[in-house]
Each structure stands twice: as C-alpha cells, then as structure tokens.
Structure 1
C-alpha cells in the first residue's frame, strides 16, 4: 500500500520568494492554491499506484487515464497561521474495480522538527480506458500489514457511507419528518411574513431569534471566465484543481459579503465532477449561501455552494460540470446576524442539504475534539518527527488514526 505514497514540500517559512506567490490579503497563505496542489497530488498518487513507484514521467500511450470523480471531504484541523513550511502527502488506501480512494494530509513543519497536522481529506479517483473512455480496471492493493488492512477497511466504510448518502439524497427521496418540520417552522417564522400581513416580502424583517432574513436567491454571486490552455491537464481539459481554487475564492468572497467580516475555512464538504471543462469554453461560476448556524465553538458557520456551468456561446445553453460545497466560520467569534431563507421548493432542498452538511461537519469536529484535537481555533499538541519519516513509516498508525476521525 505504501508504494503509492507521495509528498510535496512547500517551504513557505524558509523561502520568502515562494511565500510571496501564495500570500493572501491578510498576510496568510491562500487556501485555494493549497487545494489546487492537493488535487494535483491526488492525481499523481493515483498514477503512481497504476504505473508503479519507479515511474517518474507520464507517457501518452499508457492506454488509460485517471480523473477525479469527487472529493469526499477536506477538513481543517488547525490554523494555517503562523506561516511555516508545509508538507502535502498522501497515498491510496482503497481500491475498487475501477476506482481508488486517495487520503491526503497537510502538515506544518516547525523549525525544531515538530509537526502539526493542518488538514485531512479524501479524493475519489476513477480510471478510464483511453480509447473507449469506459471504466478501466485498477491495480488491487497489496495488504501486507495490519495497518494496511485497517486502512482498507476504512475505505470500505467510506464507500458504504457514500452509498448511504446517495440513496438518501434529496433529489431521490423526500425530506425526513424532522427536516419537514424544521422547514415548516422556518416558513412560519420567516417565510410567511408578508403574505399574512399584507406587507411586501422584500421589506426588511427580523425574526424572533433576532436574525435578519435574507432570501437565498439574494445571496447569489457569480463570475464568468474564459478557459485558457495554460490551465490544462494531461488530458487537454481544464485542470480540476484550478476549478477548485476558482470556486473556493468565489465562495470565500460570498461568505465575507454575507457576514460582513473575515471568515476562516472550516471544510470542503464535497465536490462532484460531472463533466470535463473544455479549453476555450466560457465558465460561469455561481455561488449561493445555503445555510448558516452557530454552536458553542463557532458563533457563525456559513455553508456555501458554488456551481460551475459551461456556457454554449451559440445557443446560450449551460451544462453543469461541477458542484462545490464549502463551510467557513466567522473570525474572532463574531456571531452571524443574518439568516438564509428559501423561497422555492428547490431552494428549500438546498437549504436542507446545507443543514445536513453542517451537521456532518459538527459530528466530525466532535470526534476530533474527543480525540484531543483543537480545531481551527486552537493549537494542537505537536509531535517530534521521526528521523526515518519516509513514505513507508508515515503509513500506518498516523494515517489510520487521522482517517478514523473522518
């Protein structure tokens, strides 16, 4: 299993020139660019699993290609600040007939050799025949250690959870009774205002919980871009990691406009890659705030969707290529003073999807806190790096413990 291990070092603390390329407006590191690197790393890991650890150059005639089908999750476990050197690493932990699950990790490297896990995530890659573009078989994993078997079992658990989420998706089955009750309560408190009083639904309204109502449709934020060949991947399509960065930055801007304050990245709650984005196409990215909530540790949590559509210039028709889901929290524990309210049934289903995503994120963070982790507001106890921290030694307990919290 460890043969697929790859890592990428980003010496931000020791290279001012590199840091300058990644610095954001707040003096920190651009998270969207790190997500772009993680997608590229996951692709490299998948090809390494297929071609073997000794292959360093990707040829054009290997008879197959690998694409990112989805990203299950990426969770922030600790702050990116202060700026330190970063190590991005990962490996294949599970294989199906034509699919691979790649676990990735981002770690901060202290000057004294200590390490701190910053982010964990999972990419779901699929293999395609280069001629027919149909599913192609992948190499099975060789499970030689107890840790290998435990990681593979975790991959099986993740697969079962994906199936369960798919079967319970709101585009397949109706909401649960508790979700329907929650929606009805929201309608009585916020949505019915205007129709029952004779006042306009567009007038400002503050609900019984003191939050200002904002219609979901009014949170729309979008941008259109031409897709240039400089951002192409090895398949001559637009690189998925680049799309992740664009979506992240638009969602971030929308979250800040909605809250009126600086926000911190909490999690990427899922990405679906439905179709490739061709070079030369016009891409329309559209973002909405789907749900907001608060908790003891997070006075303000904002769940955002970004949808990517390719626009046909001749007909004006659009095809959805990607769906991105992100969660941010308000910085400095600033509470959210606005509440997103759906108007239509479709928006209501999106509102419930956002609610489900925030509930899942809360469950994962609860497990993390129970295991002694700090979350993005704390400082995780850091550990001394082993001298022989190569790919094989980094597999096993560290990966297993980290994955079990997801």
Structure 2
C-alpha cells in the first residue's frame, strides 16, 4: 500500500510539472496560455460542514500532509516519546464567555446552502446539523485550550429536540465551555436556535436543539491527557451550567462503575430476563394458545449493517483521523433507517442519548456500523409497578449503533464507539431479545432510558404528535 501511495504522489508531482510552461523565472499553467476558454462549475458551498466552521478542521491539503508523513517515514498515529506540549503553559482560569462562539446558517436566505441540508422529503437533515455541532465544539474547545494541545471528542452526552421547527429559517449555532476543573476533560454546552434579529436575544421557544459534548485534551506527540484551564464561575446561570456539568460527570462515572461488563444484572433485571425467556417458551409451546403477536419483532431481525471506506475528505484537523461529526452523521442516518425498517413508518428523532467515542477512525480504514433495535417504550414486559400505556399509538424506539474499524487488508479490528439514538414511531410495536447477548443489550438500553428520564429538567419532553409535525428528520 505504501509503494502504491508513493507512486501516486510521484505521478501527481509529474503531472503538475508537465502541465506548466516557463515564462521568465515562473511556471505558468499551460491552460492559462490556451486561446480556448473554459468555464468551471461554481464551488461547493459546503463540504458537509458549514464553511465558517471548516477553517478549524482542515488546514493542510491532503496531498501535502501525505507527502510530509511519507518523508518522515512514520505512522501518523504512532505516539512519540517526546512531549510537544510546553512544560510551562498558561493555565490561568478562564471565564465561560471567553470560549463563546456562534455561527448563523442562512438557510432561509441561501437556497443553495439549504439544498445541502434537506432530505428527499424536504426535512432538514439532522445528521448534517450534527456535523456542524461537532465542528463548533472543536472551535469552542480550542478557544479555551489554545492550539498547543490536541483536543478530541470523547463523548456526546445528550442531543435533544427542545422545540421542533415549524418553518425553514436561518439557524444560529452557539455554545461555550461550561465545565472544566483543570484536568484534561471539558464539557461544552451548545444549542441550535432560530436566528434572532440583530440586537435581540434567542427566545426559549425558538431553541431547536440542546446538546453537550465532552472533549479531552491530549499531548499531540505522546497522545497522553494534559491539563487544561479551569473555569471561573460567577453568575447564577454559570453556576447552574457548571452544576449540570458536575452531574453529567458523576453520571458517566456511575455508568462505568455499574457497567454490565463488570457486574451481573440486578434482581429486577434478572426477573425481566426470566420473564422474556418464559414468554418465548409460550410462543413455541404447541399446547399453549399464546402465539407471537404481529407487533412483536425479535431483536436479531432488526439488525442493519454498513461498511464504508474512510476517505481523506472527512479527516479532522490532525489530518489522519476521521472527523467525529462525520461519524455522528453516518450513525444517525443508519439509526434512522433501522427505525424506519423496524416500524415500517417514518421515525421522528427524539434524542441522541449518552454515546462514546472509544478509538479514533484512521483515514483509509474500513468502518463497519451495526444498528440494532435494543429497546421499545412501552416495553413488551413491564417490571412490577412500572406504568405504561400498552395501547399507545406511538412507540419510542432506541437504536444502538456499534462501530468497529479495520485496515484495508483486514489485519486487525477494534471498536470505535457506541451510539444510542431514540426515535418515536407512529405504531404500536415491540422488540424482544432471545439470546444472552441480546438480553444484555436490552438491559443496558433500559438502564439508559431510565437514566435519561431522570436527567430531564422537566420530565416531559416534546409530545410525539408535535415532534411528528417538525420540519426536521
């Protein structure tokens, strides 16, 4: 593969030289001297991330980065023993507003820009908005940490629909660092809202999306965590946001400590697993009149998989790894497809629940994504005392996306993240696990749904009917 890449680079260089003629001491492209005129198409207005957010992402053309890497004859992701972060860094505490950044997407004013944000039914593609949000989180993070460190997305703690869109309008994306103790991680809170008129503030009813991302700062050479500037918290609103960051940090630790990889299911969960097993026996018992209802689907029948080669056009600012926002877009669109295939109805996005980026995805690798319907609410079997409307017209569907990456030669593979999406579908439908692995996925999803419900500020959210009328996917 290395030999092929070097040969390709030599050809690029040769073509660049051959297509030029000498004029004095300068080389001028031969096409510039031709008498025949050429007309090129207009440049793309966006590459999937809004143009005002791309400057922080990619700063060097791919061919130059590849040539430099080959000249240094080293693997792009190989850590160095020598730190690149200065020993004496300025870690003076900063205010939240020091990292504030906002961008306006002129969707109502620019029909060609809007063209890149719409799907086939005229709804705004949330996956593209997620790409913009991840790019914005990078801009905000570097305003707080400076350019001496490498800052990467560690997790997306929550993306929720606050007030659904009822019309196409200009959107304002804004955010700031709201939690940083001085260690390597920092939490960024962002929102997407209807762009206010000049001099006015955003109204709460105009907020479309609320979200929080957790970023981690690393030494660019050793890839080890490094400390960042802590926050100064002064106003009541800043104290409220900081307290939310503390709560989210505790929840992440609780999730790790109680993970099913470390502990067995609790008594209630074990009873649910046993009840599901008994239900399966009833469905297949010839002497039992109970049969599998038409609205019950086994979990293994809900799976969808994709495989995609990671191209350099979606790399991050560090050149050789894929931009996290691109992974959010890919996983969202697969989750949307899985929910639609499961329900045979159009799903409406509710939230991206706490999700993690485990390992980076190298440019040129193969990304495998697997979508599974892991939980439905109301559930098929309820726990004792659990209230649910079994005849509800709508069902909340949780989709789990597992991702792994392999090199092109398939010499190795590793997990790169788990993403958890929740949709509402206008149908009464239930998912049913039947293997031990599926039971664990079901229990994990059930825990996540309960945990998210506890962290909702108002405990209500958007009604399914209102969400269904939104102009977003």
TM-score with structure 1 length normalisation? 0.81
For 1:293, the equivalent position in structure 2 comes to 377
CA distance in 2, matches of 1:361, 1:273: 19
More displaced stretch, 214-223 vs 140-149: 140-149
CA distance in 2, matches of 1:126, 1:234: 15
For 1:250, the equivalent position in structure 2 comes to 334
Quick check: 1:28–1:80 contact (8 Å CA) kept in 2?
Answer: no
CA distance in 1, matches of 2:281, 2:173: 45
Q: CA deviation at 1:313?
A: 3.6
More displaced stretch, 118-127 vs 358-367: 358-367
Structure 2 unmatched runs, 5+: 1-95, 379-387, 468-473
Bigger Rg, structure 1 or 2: 2
Structure 2 residue 359 is matched with structure 1 residue 275: yes
Would you identify which runs of 4 or more consecutive aligned residues in structure 1 move more than 6 Å? 110-114
For 1:212, the equivalent position in structure 2 comes to 295
Structure 1 unmatched runs, 5+: 52-61, 200-204, 380-406
Q: CA RMSD in A?
A: 2.4
For 2:347, the equivalent position in structure 1 comes to 263
Report the secondary structure of 1:144's partner residue. Answer: coil
Structure 2 residue 259 is matched with structure 1 residue 133: no
Distance 1:164 1:211, change over 3 A: farther
CA distance in 2, matches of 1:298, 1:158: 32
For 2:187, the equivalent position in structure 1 comes to 101
Q: CA deviation at 1:259?
A: 0.3
Structure in which a larger fraction of residues adopt strand: 1
CA distance in 2, matches of 1:353, 1:212: 22
CA distance in 1, matches of 2:108, 2:128: 17
Quick check: 2:161–2:350 contact (8 Å CA) kept in 1?
Answer: yes
Q: CA deviation at 1:374?
A: 4.5
For 2:26, the equivalent position in structure 1 comes to none
Q: CA deviation at 1:283?
A: 1.0
| 1:6-85 paired onto structure 2 within 5 Å | 6-51=101-146, 62-85=147-170
| 1:5-404 paired onto structure 2 within 5 Å | 5-51=100-146, 62-96=147-181, 97-109=183-195, 115=203, 116-190=206-280, 193-194=283-284, 196-197=285-286, 206-207=291-292, 210=293, 212-236=295-319, 237-294=321-378, 299-315=394-410, 317-330=412-425, 334-337=426-429, 339-364=430-455, 367-369=458-460, 374-375=462-463, 377-378=465-466
Quick check: 1:267–1:326 contact (8 Å CA) kept in 2?
Answer: yes
Quick check: 1:45–1:90 contact (8 Å CA) kept in 2?
Answer: yes
CA distance in 2, matches of 1:105, 1:211: 40
> For this pair of structures, how many residues does the alignment match?
354
Render the CA deviation track for 1:41-73: whole Å, top value 9, x for unaligned: 11111111112xxxxxxxxxx431000011111
TM-score with structure 2 length normalisation? 0.70
CA distance in 2, matches of 1:156, 1:335: 38
Distance 1:366 1:235, change over 3 A: closer
Q: CA deviation at 1:281?
A: 0.7
For 1:390, the equivalent position in structure 2 comes to none
Report the secondary structure of 1:178's partner residue. Answer: helix
Distance 1:37 1:363, change over 3 A: same
User: Does 1 or 2 have the higher relative contact order (CA < 8 Å, sep 6+)?
Assistant: 1
Quick check: 2:359–2:417 contact (8 Å CA) kept in 1?
Answer: yes
Distance 1:25 1:360, change over 3 A: farther
Report the secondary structure of 1:246's partner residue. Answer: helix
